[in-house]
Amino acid sequence: MTIRVEPATLARQVPVDTVGGVSAEAPRHKTSRWWGVALYVALSAFYFGVGALLVLRYNLFDPDAASRVANAGLTFMSRYPHLSAIGFVWNPMPSFVEIPFVWMSQWWPPLKTRALAGTLQSSLFMSGAVLMLRGLAMDRGLSRGWRWFALAGFALHPIIVIYAQSGLSEAAAIFSLIWAIRYLLRWMDSGLPKDLTWTGIALAVGYLSRYEFVIATAGAAVLVGVISLTRAPIGQRLTSTAIPILVLVMPIAVMFVVWAVAGWVLADELFAQLSSRYGNAAQVANSVAAQGGLRPSFTAWPVIAGRLFGMQPFVVIASAIAVAVGLIRKRFDLLVPVIVIGPILVFAAYGQRSPTTFGFFRFYITAIPLVACIAVACWKPSDDSHSFDRSRRVGIVLLCASAFLAIPITTAAMLDRRIGDPQLQVGLSSVLFPERFHTSDSWYRRININEREIARFLDEQHLGPGSVLMDTANTWGVWLQSNNAKQFVLTSDYDFTIALNRPWERGVKYIIVSSPHNYNADAVGIRYPKIWETGAGIGIPLLSVSGADGPEAYRIYQVVKPADRAQP
């Protein structure tokens, strides 16, 4: 079997000059490595500092991020510690990473009580994404000046900064995408199986952050199949095409099966995100039903276009150029970012239009690394870093346009109430321009404040283990801010169903119920449909608590033994 090695690979792998058998490039690589470490540490500290400021000073955070910190804590701080307490509705990677950070809250409580473990998680992932983009730029041969310009335009982009500190899964997803693109580009140059293996691993890791990585993998598999087919000898096309595809797809296929089977065995649901009453599809359906079945306004094409182009105005132009140059000039490497990230953006638009998702502004964030990777990929690894061919000029134009034109447009878009997500982008606008916002409208700045008071009230009762029953899907804020984590009977506990059916016999003293007008998937409300209005014969109303937006959100009932058990 003949192994063909591209000239670009030889140029990258063989030292140009050696002295005494040691590459003269070694000191340079060592210096570059330390620069990378310094960059990673500095960005992580910067992103975490921004997040800590917004959370501790302005109470500005996304509740989805805080709920994942609660999931992380439940794995070892609940009455029945177990890893499956992390849940199967949302992808587990953010919560997995947050587990050690929540454990460290014993020395600094805000890591748990203010969910800063999530901020730390996303800060590390986004810093890793910047570092991976740096590696991609070095692979492609960018000069130091253009490399730092590209990194600054990406790392300091306002949207990237916001979601680097958000605690959400976007940072982990972007890290995995750039990781996958980098090694898929390396494979395009080298044809080495190890580069394709790393691509597959990156996509598998990404799947643990966002389910959209399934369609990203499908796109990458098509590209790998076509490239392998064109490179294969005529008599070996089947095996030479099938094997690279299997190498690419196997890691995410294994992860897909393991995660689905684990959900089926432990939660009786193969794909909880789709089938669970807590899943995104159920939440969207409930939201539509609450509006009388009318089509939500966010499904309109102008809204979809506003969010896509508000995120990155040049995403379609850059993708079109990459496809045109890639096909006409046979620069197939330029197709890699489009093939990997493009399907995710298409799915985001489809999900918003259908609607199967809420179409949040952040769902289009991958447009930013897409354009950045296209721009960097315009450089050829084998070219002189100081030469300026046409494709390199395109890359320079995209980098400059993204920095000087796209960032101001995106900044304006994210601060627009019609486009930006309220908890972060509009919330940030209320911080920067407080004169434009009345305090009664800034409900996103009051999230978790009343939950903190509920936790304080319960802690002051000095209750024993298993004294408070609640569904943590909506009351995670109470659990996070309580200093007595074991006083709760939670949905992830092994005895939750038993305690829910006969709380008066299981030592439960209080039940926290979520308003059915705000949230209709509460396990307590489903078991006792009349509990919100009447107490269902098992509870005496004790406290009523309003939500961040004003209306009543929770009621706390003192448990009593029902007089007629047949009518609970």
DSSP assignment of 420-469 equals S-IIIIIHHHHHH-GGG--GGG-GGGSTTHHHHHHHHHHHTTT--TT-EE
Q: pLDDT per residue over 317-328, tens digit each?
A: 999 999 999 999
User: 């901020």: which residue's tokens?
Assistant: 119
CB under 8 Å to 313, separation ≥6 — which residues? 405, 406, 409, 410
The pLDDT score that the predictor gives to residue 42 is: 97
Give the number of C-alpha atoms closer than 13 A to the C-alpha of residue 346, restricted to the C-beta side.
Answer: 11
The pLDDT score that the predictor gives to residue 10 is: 38
The pLDDT score that the predictor gives to residue 278 is: 75
What span, in angstroms and rounded, lies between the C-alpha atoms of 246 and 242?
6
CB under 8 Å to 402, separation ≥6 — which residues? 153, 312, 314, 371, 372, 375
Grouping H, G, I as helix, E, B as strand and the rest as coil, residue 546 is: strand
For 527, the enclosing helix (H) or strand (E) is helix 523-527
pTM over the 0.85 mark:
yes
> CB count, 10 Å around CB of 33?
10
The pLDDT score that the predictor gives to residue 564 is: 57
What span, in angstroms and rounded, lies between the C-alpha atoms of 550 and 568?
30
- For the chain, what is the radius of gyration of the CA atoms? 26
Which tokens go with 455?
């936790």
DSSP assignment of 120-184 equals HHHHHHHHHHHHHHHHHHHHHT--HHHHHHHHHHHHT-HHHHHHHSS-SSHHHHHHHHHHHHHHH
Residues 312 and 335: beta-carbon distance below 8 Å:
no
For 545, the enclosing helix (H) or strand (E) is strand 539-546
Local confidence pLDDT in tens for the 568 residues of the chain: 344 434 344 344 434 444 444 444 555 566 778 889 999 999 999 999 999 999 999 999 999 999 999 999 999 999 999 998 888 888 899 999 999 999 999 999 999 999 999 999 999 999 999 999 999 999 999 999 999 999 999 999 999 999 999 999 999 999 999 999 999 999 999 889 999 999 999 999 999 999 999 999 999 999 999 999 988 888 788 888 899 999 999 999 999 999 989 888 887 777 777 667 777 766 777 766 666 666 777 888 889 999 999 999 999 999 999 999 999 988 999 999 999 999 999 999 998 888 888 888 999 999 999 999 999 999 987 655 554 577 889 999 999 999 999 999 999 888 887 887 777 887 888 888 887 776 666 778 888 999 999 999 999 999 999 999 999 988 999 999 999 999 999 999 999 999 999 999 999 999 999 998 877 778 999 999 999 999 999 999 999 999 888 889 999 999 999 875 444 4
Residues 370 and 346: beta-carbon distance below 8 Å:
no
What span, in angstroms and rounded, lies between the C-alpha atoms of 420 and 306?
10
Q: Is 382 left (phi over 0), alpha (psi -120 to 50) or beta?
A: alpha
Assign 3-class secondary structure to 249-268. Answer: HHHHHHHHHHHHHHHHHHHC
User: 């432990």: which residue's tokens?
Assistant: 266
